[in-house]
């Protein structure tokens, strides 16, 4: 550990203890370091506004930060155990390049607000990415719902054959789900879009920091006003972000479950794009839906990340080093979650139905409910109609298309109201104010 910012004569540094303190933090900080650089530039501008840095000093710091950022982006600089964390790497770089000017960067800030602002910017980008992916998934679902309205699919409850459904009903359900997820992700983005930089160690500093400037320069929607709240929000905002991501992955989990049933030999309703399946190392006959199984499994990582952060948050106010572990949780949760959502639109676009198998799984009993409701609509009390419709003799001579066309309750096959969902999709286009 070469550059401990806080090293002073008379303080012993034990290698094992340093390793424990840093843990995998240096590696995790690779995720966040470019955000820390960006926030450092905004902080330097703020320092110049209040006279701590001259215009020349600011220009030198900005030049070095940009060069450093380019080195990180190009892989010429890789954060490793030479540094305690990303914060010390950035400061060490400025000092190495600029000497005394570099030593001024940390005026009025702490690693406590530095890590907050870097992780928050990171989270904001990840949430926006998740939002775009959910919006894209909803679009495919809507287009396919529109196109596949006359394709019957058995509808199940308790995994038992229940009523005639359609591919369009299946699609429209997930379309609306991913629209809700899009909206929730957007709301969460704006909920966490608050600037913690300038809260310093958690109690402010005796300088009139230009927090309005850093708020605006970093594109935050608002400043996190109370210096003490900045630390209270660490973990809490991470949790909210994981929850928003998690609602999309819960929808994905159920969708993937359907596909894993529907692609099985027993159902045979769906063929996956070849690239979304893998072979078996032993069984030459197999094509396995590994991709959709991993998509289904990813929710576990998000759930684990939420639990980890929840457990960490059992803390009094102020900064505590425990909070460092929240970074690993969001990196793992968002890493896997976004990877799974990233593969979703193409999967949805390319999966193929097998109409004959779907049709063959629709049995006459699935018309019983239609019949009962028909009889009730013609005046028979529903409970009597129900009994009469239980008679298998009465299920004959019906077909799925007629059943679907007659299903005119709003939101069902005969009145899908896809226009309503399409309008909502349009209103949620990324970039539009929420
Ligand atoms: N690695 C630390 C974290 O993630 C950075 C902040 C360290 N602050 C401190 N006072 N030791 O929390």
Residue owning the nearest CA to atom 1 of ligand 1: 324
Atom of ligand 1 nearest to the CA of 319: 10
How many CB atoms are located within 10 Å of the residue 399 CB?
12
Q: What percent of the chain has pLDDT over 70?
A: 99
Cα 128 to Cα 132: distance, rounded to the nearest angstrom: 6
- Report CA dihedral (121, 127, 130, 136) to the nearest 10 degrees: -100
Q: Each residue of 42-76: pLDDT tens digit?
A: 999 999 999 999 999 999 999 999 999 999 999 99
Q: Reply yes or no on whether 158 is catalytic.
A: yes
For residue 111 and ligand 1, the question of a CB distance below 6 A is answered with yes
115 ligand 1 Cβ < 6 A:
yes
Residue 131, helix vs strand vs coil: helix
Q: Cβ atoms within 10 A of the Cβ of 2, count?
A: 10
Helices (H), 148-269: 167-192, 211-217, 227-232, 236-262
Residue 20: which pLDDT band, with cuts at 50, 70 and 90? confident
Percent helix, percent strand, percent coil in the chain, to nearest 5: 65, 5, 30
Q: What is the pLDDT of residues 103-132, one digit of tens each?
A: 999 999 999 999 999 999 999 999 999 999
* C-alpha 377 to ligand 1 mean position (Å): 68
Distance CA 199, CA 161 (A): 59
Q: Spot the catalytic one: 54, 280, 409, 427.
A: 280
Q: Which of 112, 308, 315, 326 should be mutated for ligand 1, with most atoms under 8 A from CB? A: 112
Is 87 catalytic? The answer is no
DSSP class of residue 13 equals -
- Residue nearest (by alpha carbon) to ligand 1 atom 7: 111
Question: Is 85 close to ligand 1, i.e. is its CB under 6 Å away?
Answer: yes
Among the listed residues 351, 357, 365, the one whose alpha carbon sits nearest the alpha carbon of residue 164: 365
Query: How far is Cα of residue 408 from the mean position of the Cα atoms in its chain?
Result: 35
The per-residue pLDDT for range 238-273, each reduced to its tens digit, is 999 999 999 999 999 999 999 999 999 999 999 998
Whether the full predicted model's pTM is greater than 0.75, yes or no, is: yes
Q: At 424, list the tokens.
A: 């909502």
């Amino acid at each position: 550990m070469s550059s401990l910012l806080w090293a002073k004569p008379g303080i012993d540094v034990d290698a094992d203890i340093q390793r424990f303190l840093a843990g995998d933090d240096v590696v995790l900080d690779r995720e966040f370091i470019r955000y820390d650089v960006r926030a450092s530039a905004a902080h330097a501008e703020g320092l110049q506004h209040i006279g701590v840095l001259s215009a020349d000093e600011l220009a030198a710091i900005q030049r070095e930060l940009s060069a450093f950022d380019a080195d990180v982006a190009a892989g010429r600089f890789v954060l490793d155990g030479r540094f305690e964390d990303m914060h010390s790497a950035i400061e060490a770089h400025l000092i190495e390049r600029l000497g005394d000017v570099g030593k001024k960067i940390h005026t009025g800030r702490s690693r406590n607000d530095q890590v907050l602002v870097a992780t928050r910017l990171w989270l904001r980008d990840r949430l926006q990415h998740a939002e775009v992916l959910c919006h894209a998934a909803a679009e495919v679902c809507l287009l396919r719902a529109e196109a596949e309205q006359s394709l019957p699919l058995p509808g199940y409850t308790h995994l038992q054959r229940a009523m005639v459904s359609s591919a369009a009903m299946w699609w429209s359900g997930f379309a609306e789900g991913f629209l809700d997820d899009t909206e929730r992700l957007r709301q969460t983005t704006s909920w966490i879009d608050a600037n913690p930089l300038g809260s310093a160690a958690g109690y402010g500093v005796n300088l009139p920091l230009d927090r309005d400037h850093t708020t605006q320069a970093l594109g935050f929607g608002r400043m996190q006003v109370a210096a003490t709240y900045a630390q209270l929000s660490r973990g809490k905002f991470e949790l909210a972000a994981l929850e928003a991501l998690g609602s999309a992955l819960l929808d994905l989990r159920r969708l993937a479950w359907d596909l894993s049933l529907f692609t099985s030999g027993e159902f045979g309703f769906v063929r996956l794009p070849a690239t979304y399946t893998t072979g078996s190392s032993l069984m030459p006959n197999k094509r396995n839906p590994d991709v959709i199984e991993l998509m289904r499994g990813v929710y576990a990582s998000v759930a684990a990340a939420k639990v980890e952060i929840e457990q960490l948050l059992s803390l009094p106010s102020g900064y505590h080093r425990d909070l460092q572990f929240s970074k690993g949780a969001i990196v793992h949760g968002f890493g896997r979650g976004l990877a799974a959502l990233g593969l979703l639109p193409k999967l949805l676009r390319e999966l193929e139905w097998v109409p004959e198998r779907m049709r063959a799984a629709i049995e006459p009993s699935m018309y019983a409910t239609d019949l009962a409701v028909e009889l009730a609509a013609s005046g028979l009390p529903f409970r009597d109609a129900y009994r009469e419709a239980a008679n298998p003799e009465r299920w004959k001579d019906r077909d799925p298309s007629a059943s679907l066309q007659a299903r005119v309750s709003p939101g069902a096959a005969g009145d899908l109201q896809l226009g309503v969902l399409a309008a909502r999709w349009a209103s949620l286009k990324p970039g539009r104010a929420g």
